[in-house]
Structure 1
Amino acid sequence: MRGDTDGSKTGTLTKERFLKRAVGKCPEVEIHAGGVAIKCLLDTGSNVSTLTESFFKKHLHGEDKDMHCTSKWLKITAANGLPLPYLGYVELDIQVMGLTIPGCGFLVIRDQNDGETDSAPPGILGMNIEQRCKQLILAEFDNALKGTLDADWRAALNRVQEAAPVGANSVIRVAGTRKSYIPAASVATIQARAHKELAENRNLRLFEPGKASLSGGLVLIPTLVSPGRRVFPVQVVNLSPEGVWLPPKVKLGVLGQGRRVESSSCEVRFH
């Protein structure tokens, strides 16, 4: 980076200025487990979810015998490269915005200080739970959630993407020559277009969101695409309180190879 080397010209650095300019706010949400409220950080950069030892034992009434010992075969490394000191593994049924997600995995970690502190949330929600939350929230967005979503969850879900592009021809774009409108707090169906080479592929295909998130709080729902179709419908969820216009030819996601699973014992019921 080029420029003068005179140093900072901000004048007197105060604590208030530092906190405003240099420190960002981590999104925090409240979940429930066994009727107990747990304040958690939403961390899309974490592969695992954690709970502090003091909170697990004091508020959830957990004991050492309730934790599965996985330290002999599971080693967890933090972002700084150092081992994460955890005591064991537990699975809890949690409630998020009134929706129940069963069997969520948490690592119980040693407290950083001697016991709990008021400043640090006792829990961290990582990608293992956030991916499941996203699937359930999108499925219940219209019915159970009435088209409303907490701002911190909305920001986090926009960053939870599981698919990765596999080639230039796999990119899916908005079809047509006109803008597509997605109303506020609703689910809309738009037309998407695949590359000609993909349309000629007669195999089963799966449309998924790409790494880059769409602007305006839009989230794409994975869709099974019929073989041989170049233009197909895709559902888009608008998590924001304002309507969003999608220009034509905007990148939506990727189209990958699907796999057909057949089972004579599979039964599906809708309630």
Structure 2
Amino acid sequence: MSRFMSTCPQLIVGMGGVKVPCLVDTGSMVSTITESCFLRNFESWGQEQLRSCHWLQLRAANGLSIPYIGYLELDVELCGRVVLGCGVLVVKDPPGGLCAQVPGVLGMNVLSRCYQELFGQHGMSLFDLPVVSQAPSSVFQALQHCCYADSQSVSDQGGRVKVRGRRACRIPGGTMKLVAVTCSAQYSNGTVLFEPPDAGLPAGLLASPSLVPVERGTAYVPVVNVGTVDVLLYASTVIGTVSWVYVVSLPPEVTEVQVVSARVNTQAVLVSPTILEQIESIDLSVLSVGEQDKVRALLEKYLTVFSRHEGDLGCSNLISHDIPLLDDVPVRQRYRRVPPSEYEVVKAHINQLLDAQVLGSTEGGSLLVVGFSLNVCCDTYEAV
């Protein structure tokens, strides 16, 4: 049988100053230790250090639920670096003492953070470092997996930022305004480098490369309108890209100081532009003056057929139709699970559909949705 099986990738990992034998698992999103390991090594910390997170459901690869009693925030030592404040779940011991010798699982939440810190300081040369090249093969391969996943994420998402909201953002002439933008969830709770596109912003707006904090996928980018006419930035307009930044080295005469936080209250007025305003803001500079007048006159003649914004779907009573069913039994389907990272996006989209009256609510507060059902943050939406 030894020819068909190999040993599990294991290593000794420092967690909170305690050496814990761990299984390296790039397929696990979280890192865990068993309850017996917690009682043996961390019980002296007190139960107050063990935090609860009942909102998280932990499942094995076969779909079975894995019970756990809470989580710890531990400093994990890996590849010569100390990754601070890593979340480690404390799971119930499996029957039969299967994890007695290897009570820990080193998951991607620690491996990816270790890779990001090493990559931020050394770039792709991190794989030539002795602490990485001489590490166990399981760790080396796990860091290579993080490198591949990171490159795929960048190529797929591109770090693009778009104007947030459903309405256009008006930037008065001769002013600078902080514009709310959305970006990928991978940049949340960190500071990123914002860069405007090479082709520039619409209508002559200006934005400079700057460091901006991201909270829950939202950042505020300073945009300047150097003209005298108000400019509208419509929802979902791409105004640049963001990327991670790291302090690689500092000149001898420069020292790093503690970050000082300050809260600035800004009042952003979002208005829904009229159809005429949108027609007037269309860039027709490639046409002659006479052709521009003709195009705008044509658009104004049929302005009633245009929607003012994404949620302006309109309604027609010119025709009606019926959908014949086999019986009168309501259609009900099992809800599709939504990842926790997508809760806010899904709820924002549902609110947008409510505002557009695509969805309707019942007396009990449930939403009537045609053709599908969702379960988001304990709110159940039933199909009809």
TM-score, length basis structure 1: 0.51
Task: Identify the residue that residue 98 of structure 1 maps to in structure 2.
Answer: 80
Residues 153-168 of structure 1: matches in 2 within 5 Å?
Answer: 153-160=139-146, 161-162=149-150, 163-164=152-153, 165-166=155-156
1:122 lines up with 2:107 in the alignment: no
Does residue 27 of structure 2 align to residue 45 of structure 1? yes
Judge conservation of contact 2:76–2:82 (CA < 8 Å) in 1.
yes
Taking only the aligned residue pairs, the percentage that are identical comes to: 32
Residue 9 of structure 2 is aligned with which of 24, 27, 32?
27
**1:132/1:19 Cα in 2 relative to 1: closer, same or farther (>3 Å)?**
same
CA contact (8 A) 2:194 2:243 kept: no
Q: Give the paired residue count.
A: 165
Report the structure, 1 or 2, having the larger helix content.
2
- The yes-or-no answer on 1:70 pairing with 2:56 is no
Shift of 1:98: 2.7
The one-letter amino acid of 2:140's match is: R
- C-alpha separation between the residues in 1 aligned to 2:14 and 2:40? 15
Max radius of gyration: which structure? Answer: 2
Change over 3 Å in CA distance of 1:39–1:137 after alignment to 2 = farther
| Inter-CA distance 260–116: structure 2 relative to 1 (3 Å threshold) | closer
Structure 2 CA distance for partners of 1:146 and 1:85, relative to 1, 3 Å: closer
Of 252, 256, 259 in structure 1, the residue corresponding to residue 242 of structure 2 is 259
Cα distance in 1, alignment partners of residues 79 and 70 from structure 2: 27
Alpha-carbon distance in structure 2 between the residues aligned to 1:94 and 1:115: 25
Q: Describe how 1:130-209 pairs up with structure 2 within 5 A.
A: 130-138=111-119, 139=121, 141=126, 145=130, 148-150=133-135, 151-160=137-146, 161-162=149-150, 163-164=152-153, 165-166=155-156
TM norm structure 2: 0.37
- What secondary structure sits across from 2:2 in the alignment? helix
Structure scoring higher RCO (CA < 8 A, sep ≥ 6) equals: 1
- SS class of match (1:136): helix
| Conservation of the 8 A alpha-carbon contact between 2:35 and 2:93 | yes
Gaps of 5+ in 1: 1-17, 171-222, 229-256, 262-266
| Contact 1:44 1:127 survives alignment (8 Å) | yes
SS in 1 for 2:145: coil
The separation in 1 between residues aligned to 2:40 and 2:63, in whole angstroms, is 30
Deviation at 1:43, TM superposition (A): 0.7
Is the CA contact 1:57–1:63 (under 8 Å) kept in the aligned structure 2? no
Q: CA deviation at 1:106?
A: 0.8
Counterpart CA distance in 1 for 2:131 and 2:105 is 27
CA distance in 1 between counterparts of 2:46 and 2:195 reads: 48
Give how far 1:145 is off. Answer: 4.4
TM-superposition CA deviations, 1:199-222 (whole Å, max 9, x none): xxxxxxxxxxxxxxxxxxxxxxxx
Unaligned runs of 5+ in 2: 159-192, 199-239, 256-384
2:18 to 29, 36, 40: 36
Provide the secondary structure at the position in 2 that maps to 1:20: coil
The 3-state SS of whatever aligns with 2:60 is coil
